[in-house]
Every structure is written in C-alpha cells, then in structure tokens.
A and B are shown apart, each in its own frame.
Chain A
Amino acid sequence: MAPWLIGFSVFFGYPLVMSVYLSFTHYDLLSPPKWIGTANYKYLFTQDPQVGQAVKNTLWIIAIMVPLQVLFAFGVATMLARARRGAGFFRTVFYLPALAPPVAATLAFVYILNPATGPVNILLQHLGIEGPLWFQSPGWSKPSLTILGLWGVGNIMIIFLAAVLDVPKHLYESAELDGAGPFQRMRWVTLPTISPVILFSVVIGVIAGLQYFTQAYVAANVASGQASQAGDQTVNNLGYPEGSTLFYPVLLYQHGFRYFNMGYASAMSVMLLLVAFTVTVLIIRNSRRWVHYVGASK
C-alpha cells in the first residue's frame, strides 16, 4: 500500500495542486514562477484568439462524433447479435480496427482519403463523383476524423454486443406475445435493458472527446506535408487546415509544450478538468430519468 500512496501523492495529488497554483502564475520553466493572479484566466476567456475555435471544434467532436460512434457501435452490435453464421468472424473483423495504433490508423486514413491519389477518391471518380478534399479542406477535416473514429469503434461495439446478448430472451417472447413488432421490442425491451451500457459509453465517449488529441495532431502533421522537425519552433502544423483540427487539448499542447507557457497551459487544464467533471455529473444526474437498472424499483 505504501508505495502506491507515495505514487498517488506524487503522480496525482501533487499535479492537481500544482496545476491550480501554476495557473495563477507566469512560468516558462527558465525563471521561477511569477504570481500574476487571474491574468491567465482573463486572457483565456476574453483575449486568446484561438480558444473560441478550439472550443467549437471540441464541441463538434462531442456533439457529432461521439453520438455517431455510440449509434454506430449499437447498430453493428445489433446486427452481430442476430447473425446466425460467422458471428465469430464478423466480430473479429469489426473489432480489429480498434486495435490499430491511433498513429498508424490516422496515417492510413490520410493516405486513403488523399484527394488526388487516394483509393477512395479514385473509386468515387469511377462512379462519376468528384470526391471532397478530406483532410485538406477545413470543411471536411472533422468529418474525415469522424470516419476514422467510426472505423475504430470496436471496443464500444464489443461491450454493446455483450449487453445485447445478455437481454433475457423471455422478455422478447412476452413482448411478442403482447403483439409488439420489431421496433417496439427494440424500444421497450432492448433499449431499457441495455441503458446502463449506453450511459457508460456516452460518459467514456465524452471524456475521451474532451481529450481528443492524437488523431488530430497526426492528421494535421501528415496532411500538411511539412516537416515539423525536432526543435524547429517556426513550423506550426497544429490545427491544419486553417485551424479546423485545432481542438482544445491541441491548443493546450501548443501553449504548454511548444511555447512553454506553463502557467497559461495550467489554466487551460484546470478549465478542462472543471468542464469534464461538470459534464460527467450532469450526464449521470440526467441519466436517472432514462437508465434502468435490472432489479431496481422505481
């Protein structure tokens, strides 16, 4: 227990306290932190020209990508649960992409969705459709990341699959006897029974969405095609194209680890923590209305 307590205080408690302290200072790692009161927060809320865009981009992820992922995972899991043949094969196929390292998967998608020579646009061309610019266009970069996100949805899908298979058969049978069609069975049997899993995947999805970083960083870096050579601070591909992939954590990274504004980055991380905490509490509170726990009485 003891080593863990040390570890806990060093790697968890200390950073938490230090984050709050540093967020009230100006600190560039070279000279000692200088207390500047709430100036960092003032700049964050009123002046930083990039924050608005970063928040909007992150909201996009949470409002569009996360719900799509949950829906998609649920859809695939439902189909899988009904499969009579080859269920094991299909399960493996749908789970496999979730394993692919995010960097490798992103690189693959930047290539596949390459506007000029990527296979997807070539196939679209054969169909007589002019494909979009995908990762090269500010309007399509987030949808491209979303397609990448849907491809890697395997973990949620496996959890949904287990939940769907766990729904007691007798519930379906009695619903059928009462004359419920497939949609009614879905609405009144499947969804209520698996609602705890829906809640779980939404909470996990939102927390992950708030921290969305790796795919955005790699996609911008590779799609821009410029060298961001080690130590070279002049080239900045973050958010390429036109800041459309500049998510809040990417901006935090830029301030903290490219410009070494440790105080300002701390202020950003404290805000992120507060938002993550608030959103989680709100979702869980709201969930009491729609999550049904088997065996619990209303």
Chain B
Amino acid sequence: MTSATVPSAATALTRRKPPAAVRRRRFLLAVANHSLLIVAAIAFLAPFVFITLTALMTNSQALSSHIWPHPFRWQNFVDVFHQAPIWRWALNTMIYSCLATLGVLVSSIPVAYALSRIRWRGRNVAFGTVLIALMLPPVVSVVPLYVMWAKLGLVGGLGPLIIPNWFGDAFSIFLLRQFFMTIPEEYLDAARVDGCGELRILGTVVLRLAKPAIAAVALFSFLYTFNDFFLPLLYTRENPSSWVLQIGLSEFRSLHQVQWNLTMAATLLVMAPVIIIFFLAQKAFVEGVTLTGVKG
C-alpha cells in the first residue's frame, strides 16, 4: 500500500495548483500578451486588406475617401491584363526563375558534396572562398559583369540573369554543405564498399537523405529570382520585351498613367504566386529559414 501512495503523493505535489493570486497574474499576463499579438496581427494584415479592397474598387472610389468598395468591381482583374503585357512579363519571370533555380541545383549540389564528403587538397581553401563570396555585397561585382555582358552583346536579354546561376551560388553551396556534413559517414562508406563511385553515391544516397535541404535551396532560389528587381533592372530596362513581372509592376503605373485600383490589382497578382507557394510549402520554408540562421 505505501509503495502505491508514494508516487501518487509525488504527482500530487508537482501538479499542485499555484496560489490564486499567481494564477490570476499569469492569466492577465497571457491576456495582455495575446491582445498585443492580435493588435500586431491586425497591423501586419492591414496592408493586404487595403490592397485587396482597392483592387476591387472603381477608379473614382479609389480616389475618394471610401475604404469599403461599393460595388465590388471584379472586372479590374480582367482589365489589368488589357492594360499591360502581363502574360509576357510572367513568362519572362518563369524563364528566369526556373532556369536559374535549375542551374543553382545542378551546379551547387556537386560542389557542396565535394566540399563536405570528399577529401582533397585545397578543400579548406575552396570552402574559405565560398565564405568570402557569401559575405561580399553583389553590388561590387555589378559594373565589370555588366561590361562583360555588354561586350558579349547579351545586355537586354535574360542571359546575364540566368547564366551565372549555372556556375554555382555561394549561399546554396554553403547551406547544402552544412546539411551534407550531418549525413553519417557510415552510409557513404557502405556505398563505397559496395563499389559505388562518388557520383553514384551523390545521386542515390546523398540526394535522398538531403531532400529537405535541397527543397529549401530550390525554394529560396526560386523566390529570390522571382522577387529579384536589381539585376533585371540593370540588364533589361531598355528592352521592354524582356521585362519580368517586378520590372513591369514598378513601371506599371507611370508608363500607362494607370489608376490606383488597377495598380493594386496588379500588385495583388504579383504577390499571389509567392503566397500560394508559401502555403503549399510552409514547412520547408520555416525549416529553411531556421537552417540558415541558427546553425550557421
């Protein structure tokens, strides 16, 4: 009997409710904290709400002091496509984002593998240069690269945006290398004993184990290029047929003297893909962001 009562006494001790005053203070703190969170959440969501509401207004409403559209003008989302070659811009964006992302994966995965799991002379020096490349502001290399592309006659097209990604990207190499380092050596040794070459190990063992990291790299690369404004501005500003969505959107209002309601509809359309991707791949996102920050 005593042996049974002792553990229950212990649980009773740990589960004892705190005094009423403490509980009330904790409750009030939680309420205050949640109220603050709700206020902040409203502030964070408000811009999205305002954009959406304006995108549904008529032009005169958008210029008035009304905040709620009346009537709702869904036609705006059709009109936007007549105002500007949005499909053309979207196509250019897809070409840029997809080819660049593919390039980053094809070039960075083998380099990251060589930097993490193959021993070779000069490996540390090579990894050091990746770290330096990671730190350097891209603005610095912009002028000579522009000169180079101008000499090759590629300025005005998407080439200068895509091609560099096929030669490795420091950030992706770094992220993948950090992840590859966590793969247990035994797996690789087992494959080597079975007679696999390094390329085959990479293709079978490593790629399968590193799926989350590769997904994160692909996601970041796609988003980065989708959102990229600076490089497309440099290389395609003079050539509207190569404009991507971000350039088109930035010029949307001023080029055609377009009204705010249509501008906001276009803004919403450009935001939409990213937000949809986020909800489809939320887990990979948050893991990826954490992977870059905490263990870096």
CB distance from A6 to the nearest CB of B (A): 7
What chain B residues lie within 8 Å of A128 (beta carbons)?
Answer: none
- Rounded to whole angstroms, the CA-CA distance of A82 and B26 in the bound complex is 11
CB-contact partner of B54 in A19, A111, A214, under 8 A: A111
Contact B33 A117 (CB under 8 A): no
Contact A7 B144 (CB under 8 A): no
CB distance from B42 to the nearest CB of A (A): 9
Contact A117 B64 (CB under 8 A): yes
Contact B294 A159 (CB under 8 A): yes
- Rounded to whole angstroms, the CA-CA distance of A171 and B63 in the bound complex is 56
Q: List the one stretch of A48-56, A61-69, A183-191, A220-228 in contact with chain B.
A: A220-228
- Rounded to whole angstroms, the CA-CA distance of A213 and B230 in the bound complex is 8
For A112-145 the 0/1 string (1 means CB < 8 A from B) is 1010010100110100000000000000000000
CB-contact partner of A249 in B139, B168, B274, B296, under 8 A: B139
Q: List the one stretch of B72-80, B145-153, B187-195 in contact with chain A.
A: B145-153
The chain B residue sitting closest to A271, CB to CB, is B140
Contact B278 A8 (CB under 8 A): no
Q: Is B51 in contact with chain A by the CB < 8 A criterion?
A: yes
Q: Is A217 in contact with chain B by the CB < 8 A criterion?
A: yes
What chain A residues lie within 8 Å of B110 (beta carbons)?
Answer: 1, 4
Contact B270 A101 (CB under 8 A): yes
- Rounded to whole angstroms, the CA-CA distance of A80 and B129 in the bound complex is 38
The chain A residue sitting closest to B49, CB to CB, is A119
Contact B143 A6 (CB under 8 A): no
What chain A residues lie within 8 Å of B40 (beta carbons)?
Answer: 76, 79, 94
CB-contact partner of B293 in A3, A18, A162, A266, under 8 A: A162
Contact B143 A102 (CB under 8 A): no
Contact B147 A270 (CB under 8 A): no
Supposing A103-B249, A119-B50 touch, asked if A93 and B44 sit within 8 A by C-beta, the answer is yes
- Rounded to whole angstroms, the CA-CA distance of A262 and B145 in the bound complex is 11
Contact B229 A102 (CB under 8 A): yes
- Rounded to whole angstroms, the CA-CA distance of A134 and B120 in the bound complex is 57
What chain B residues lie within 8 Å of A35 (beta carbons)?
Answer: none
- Rounded to whole angstroms, the CA-CA distance of A272 and B137 in the bound complex is 8
Q: Is B196 in contact with chain A by the CB < 8 A criterion?
A: no
Contact A94 B238 (CB under 8 A): no
CB-contact partner of A7 in B67, B166, B251, under 8 A: B166
CB distance from A101 to the nearest CB of B (A): 4
Q: Is A259 in contact with chain B by the CB < 8 A criterion?
A: no
Contact A94 B274 (CB under 8 A): no
Q: Is A163 in contact with chain B by the CB < 8 A criterion?
A: yes
CB distance from B195 to the nearest CB of A (A): 23
What chain A residues lie within 8 Å of B129 (beta carbons)?
Answer: 8
Contact B143 A163 (CB under 8 A): no
Which B49-68 residues sit within 8 Å CB-CB of chain A?
50-51, 54, 62-65, 67
Q: Is A177 in contact with chain B by the CB < 8 A criterion?
A: no
Could you write out 14 A-B pairs with CB less than 8 Å apart? Answer: A3-B168, A11-B145, A15-B142, A18-B143, A19-B141, A97-B44, A103-B227, A117-B64, A151-B44, A162-B293, A222-B253, A252-B139, A269-B139, A269-B143
CB-contact partner of B133 in A12, A159, A207, under 8 A: A12
Q: Is B92 in contact with chain A by the CB < 8 A criterion?
A: no
What chain B residues lie within 8 Å of A280 (beta carbons)?
Answer: 135
Contact B150 A29 (CB under 8 A): yes
CB-contact partner of A11 in B141, B223, B245, B252, under 8 A: B141
Q: Is B179 in contact with chain A by the CB < 8 A criterion?
A: no
- Rounded to whole angstroms, the CA-CA distance of A230 and B274 in the bound complex is 28
Contact B50 A276 (CB under 8 A): no
Contact A257 B146 (CB under 8 A): yes
Contact B139 A211 (CB under 8 A): yes
Q: Is B250 in contact with chain A by the CB < 8 A criterion?
A: yes
Known: A4-B111, A103-B229, A159-B290. 8 other contacts (CB 8 A): A15-B140, A16-B141, A29-B150, A82-B33, A89-B41, A102-B227, A228-B251, A257-B237
